[in-house]
Amino acid sequence: MRDLFYIEVGSFQKSHAGERICGDVFVSQKVKEENRTVVVLSDGMGHGVKANLLATLTATMGLNFTKEHKDARKIAEIIMNTLPVCSERKISYATFSIVDIEESGLTTIINYDNPDPIVMRGNELYKPDWQYLVLESENNAGKEIKACAFEAQKEDRIILMSDGITQSGLGKGKYLLGWGLDNVQQQVVDNVTEKPELSAAKLAGRIVNKAHSNDNYQAKDDMSAAAIYFREPRQLLLCSGPPFDKEKDKELAQIVKNFEGKRVLCGGTTADIISRELNIPIKDTLDFDDPELPPLSYMDGIDLVTEGILTLSKVSEVLEKFSPRTDLGKGPADSIVKMFLESDTIYFWIGTAINVAHQDPNLPVELEIRRTVIKKIAKTLETKFLKEISIRFI
């Protein structure tokens, strides 16, 4: 069943040399109501803005039609009937790979004109039973898409890529005929064997960076790789704010004590409660790694202890602006963001007692109350980073 593993999704891209916009588009979404994950990679013909628009259209349609449980042939027909066709080559202006992972672990892959997806079971290649589906509509008669379905297991991986990866190095040097799928597969096997816990994003990054080096760091095509990693979930608990009822202090302390995963306390009052109830002293520091925020404190058994609402407000801001190029520092907010990104399932236990200090009308307008900030953080983590979130108010 799905609850036996977490589905980590990561991607990495390089644009065609001289282009700021990538002509490949990657989208993924968790369908919360059905506990499904849908991932799509599309490669628009050519490069630049036009390719990006065509790939965006294709990826969006692929995502939405898959969410609606449409048949693989139907999805392909609709996409290919919507896209313009190259007058010379008589093919659609975009390719696509779609992965649909159901709650049970049943995983379906549909692939049209992208390099074959790579499936790994542990550190070995896994060969799913690929079927060739021939399209029959008037416009697309005879065109083929590849599809497969299998039951995913923990430590499985799926890698999608655009042909900028397999064709890298074409025409000169070591790979006269291009890097090729076999060599990409071997790199994936080597990477996973060397580092079995390698994250999805880092695996995708290694594939793209190697392809980029094959082209002497002047990409001749857009390069994209996406990886899906089925693994043990990494859990994090963040507590912030005193419980509404003081009698709940002991309950909160036991939740922190018994939690299996990383623990973060945000707020001096929260830290004082845990310190008192669990008899763990707080060690304050004067390490101002972020001039905008009070410094970190330390408690044995707790991974991070920070100030409350100011730090959480900055966490929300950093998450909203975060991109693959974001360079996180050592400050309290950046440290929390790092821990969020390294976690899969994040539990928020939020106290609902009013902190009088935050009712001061002279404080900045953007200083939202804790509950609002947490909900904002949770929404960003769910939609932008595909984290699984649980919020409890106490």
Query: Is 100 in the same domain as 200?
Result: yes
- Asked if residue 152 and residue 217 are part of one domain, the reply reads yes
Mean pLDDT of the chain: 89
What is the per-residue pLDDT for 87?
A: 52
Distance in angstroms (rounded) separating the CA atoms of residues 307 and 330:
15
Of the three residues 231, 251, 270, the one that is the final residue of a domain is 231
Same domain, 310 and 291: yes
| Shared-domain flag, residues 389 and 275 | yes
How far apart, in whole angstroms, are the C-alpha atoms of residue 257 and residue 253? 6
Q: How many Å is the Cα radius of gyration of the chain?
A: 24
Whether residues 74 and 156 share a domain: the answer is yes
- The neighbouring-strand residues paired with 29 are 38
Pair 244, 187 in one domain: no
The string of DSSP codes covering 309-331 is: HHHHHHHHHHHHH--TT----SS
Domain span at 57:
2-231
Q: What are phi and psi of 140, to 5 degrees?
A: -120, 15
Query: Do 189 and 309 belong to one domain?
Result: no
For the chain, list the strands marked E by DSSP: 6-14, 24-31, 36-44, 94-101, 106-112, 118-121, 124-125, 131-134, 144-151, 156-161, 223-231, 235-240, 262-266, 283-284, 297-299, 302-306, 345-350, 388-393
Helix/strand/coil for 389:
strand
Question: Does 206 lie in the same domain as 273?
Answer: no
Residues 145, 73, single domain; the answer is yes
The region of weakest confidence among 74-88, 251-265, 296-310, 356-370 is 356-370
Express each pLDDT in 108-147 by its tens digit: 999 999 999 999 999 999 999 999 988 877 777 788 899 9
According to the model, what pLDDT value does residue 2 have? 44
Residue range 22-50, pLDDT digits in tens: 999 999 998 988 989 999 999 998 889 98
- End-of-domain residue from the set 231, 257, 283: 231
Residues 326 and 371 in one domain: yes
Burial 114-153 (b: 16+ CB within 10 A, else e): bbbbbbbbebeeeebeeeebebeeeebeebebbbbebebe
Tell me: the pLDDT tens digits for 57-95? Answer: 999 999 999 999 988 888 888 888 887 665 555 555 789
Same domain, 341 and 262: yes
Domain-ending residue, one of 202, 231, 260: 231
pLDDT, tens only, 199-248: 999 999 999 999 999 999 999 999 999 999 999 889 999 999 999 888 89
362: pLDDT strictly greater than 60? no
Residues 12 and 64 in one domain: yes
What is the number of domains present in the chain? Answer: 2
Q: Please report, for the domain that includes residue 130, its CATH number.
A: 3.60.40.10
* pLDDT confidence tier of residue 366, bands split at 50, 70 and 90: very low
